[in-house]
Amino acid sequence: MAAIGDVARLAGVSKATASRALTGNGYVAEETRRRVETAAAEIGYIASPDAASLVTGRTKNVGVVIPFVNRWFFGEVLEGIERALLTAGYDLTLYNLSDSGPDRARVFEFFLARKRVDAVIAVGVDLAEHEVAALDRREKPLVCLGGTGGTAARLSVDDRAVGQLATEHLLHLGHTRIAHLAGAGASERPDTVQGLRRHGFLDAMGAAGHDPSPADVVETEMTMPGGYRAALQLLGHPGPRPTAVFAASDELAFGALRAAERLGIAMPAELSVVGVDGHEYAEMFDLTTVEQYPGEQGRSAVGVVLRLLGEGAVADPLPDSGAPLPTRLVVRASTTAAPR
């Protein structure tokens, strides 16, 4: 079996230089690095990640905690993270995190804090103080993409501004009876994504001189079935029907479009619908939406992790201390002027 000493002799360098060239731990001239890599390939030597971690204290592995793996947004973020980590020579360990309970506690107290990951990316997760502290005590950098995480580095869109922009689009079209399909828990947890988008809706309505009733804000799971069920109740209720709906996600909006179709409501002549996300099916549904870019967000989170780990040049300031991540209103045929 080939050993590092064999690689070093073939490349004409010391074992320490060969090790640095193959693990990336320390400076090696580019020409020397190529010579070592060629020698390693020639004799079939593969550097042991376990051995390298004993020397460097690094595992080249990043833990990712995520609440859902079967929803479009989170899947896109995860793909962006994975590709960026692979490009940087890092592995990924994925944890599908529950809201609460012993499984969640084990993730933070054992799997992430004690097992061998160099850093953690939390995607759309609201972290408790003790969860952040468990990672901090063991000097594991934490980057939050959306969600909340105390003083941890954080990347996010401005969800309150997103909600305001979507609602202002409907107001600009002349709608005054506007309802909001909010994510579950939006009113109880104002600092969450769904809570901030609800705030944005209320901000825009208040600035326009409108006071939505409690019945105009319906909370539900941010899925297509959730949007469908909530919109059936909202649009099928006796009394004046809203002429427009701001849905807190595109999947909620898709459900609302299907409910309106089932109720025989002409769209967009009688009902305009706007969502948030830029889902890959938004164009197919002709949905007006506030686009965000989850794949790019995942890559940006990896960029911050690498900087916190000291990989490459450190930018100042880090992205989490600057402007929010980009969004863009894309107008399609699901919104039009309010009916007379």
What is the residue type of 70?
N
pLDDT value for 312: 59
CA gap 239, 247 in Å, rounded: 21
Q: Which of 77-81, 95-99, 242-246, 252-256 has the lowest mean pLDDT?
A: 95-99
Could you read off the pLDDT of 283-306 as tens digits, one per residue?
999 999 999 999 999 999 999 999
pLDDT confidence of 185, banded at 50, 70, 90? Answer: very high
pLDDT value for 322: 56
| Residue carrying the six token digits 């099928």 | 236
> Does residue 18 contact residue 7 with C-beta atoms inside 8 Å?
yes
Q: Give me the phi and psi of 202, to 5 degrees please.
A: -65, -35
Looking at the chain, the number of H-run helices and the number of E-run strands are 12, 11
Q: Nearest CA to 273 among 202, 204, 334? A: 334
* Of residues 12 and 164, more confidently modeled: 164
Model pTM above 0.85: no
Residue 279 has pLDDT above 60, yes or no: yes
177 token code pair = 């009876």
Residue 38 has pLDDT above 50, yes or no: yes
* Of residues 135 and 181, more confidently modeled: 181
Percent of the chain scoring above 70 in pLDDT: 91
Residue 1 has pLDDT above 70, yes or no: no
pLDDT confidence of 45, banded at 50, 70, 90? Answer: confident
Residue 76 has pLDDT above 90, yes or no: yes
Confirm whether 4-56 and 61-156+294-309 share one CATH topology: no
> Does residue 300 contact residue 155 with C-beta atoms inside 8 Å?
yes
Residue 53 has pLDDT above 70, yes or no: no
pLDDT value for 49: 54
Q: Nearest CA to 73 among 147, 160, 131? A: 147
Mean pLDDT of 15-25: 76
pLDDT confidence of 316, banded at 50, 70, 90? Answer: very low
Residues in Cβ contact with 300 at an 8 Å cutoff, skipping those fewer than 6 apart = 145, 155, 319, 325
Farthest CA pair distance, the chain: 85
Other CB atoms within 10 A of residue 233 CB: 12
CA gap 41, 34 in Å, rounded: 10
Mean confidence (pLDDT) of the chain: 89
CA gap 18, 40 in Å, rounded: 9
pLDDT value for 57: 57
Q: Does the domain at residues 61-156+294-309 carry the CATH identifier 3.40.50.12780?
A: no
CA gap 65, 91 in Å, rounded: 14
CA gap 235, 260 in Å, rounded: 7
CA dihedral 298, 299, 302, 308 (to 10 degrees): -120
Mean pLDDT of 74-93: 94
Residue 113 has pLDDT above 70, yes or no: no
pLDDT value for 148: 86
Supply the Cα-derived Rg of the chain in whole angstroms.
25
Residues in Cβ contact with 143 at an 8 Å cutoff, skipping those fewer than 6 apart = 119, 120, 121, 122, 152, 153, 154, 155, 301, 304, 305, 308, 320
CA gap 128, 121 in Å, rounded: 15
Of 27-41, 165-179, 300-314, the range with the highest mean pLDDT is: 165-179
206 token code pair = 């208040």
Can you give the residue ranges of every domain in the chain?
4-56, 61-156+294-309, 159-291
pLDDT confidence of 55, banded at 50, 70, 90? Answer: very low
Other CB atoms within 10 A of residue 29 CB: 10
**CATH code of domain 4-56:** 1.10.260.40
* Of residues 147 and 230, more confidently modeled: 230
Q: Does the domain at residues 159-291 carry the CATH identifier 3.40.140.10?
A: no
> Does residue 263 contact residue 232 with C-beta atoms inside 8 Å?
yes
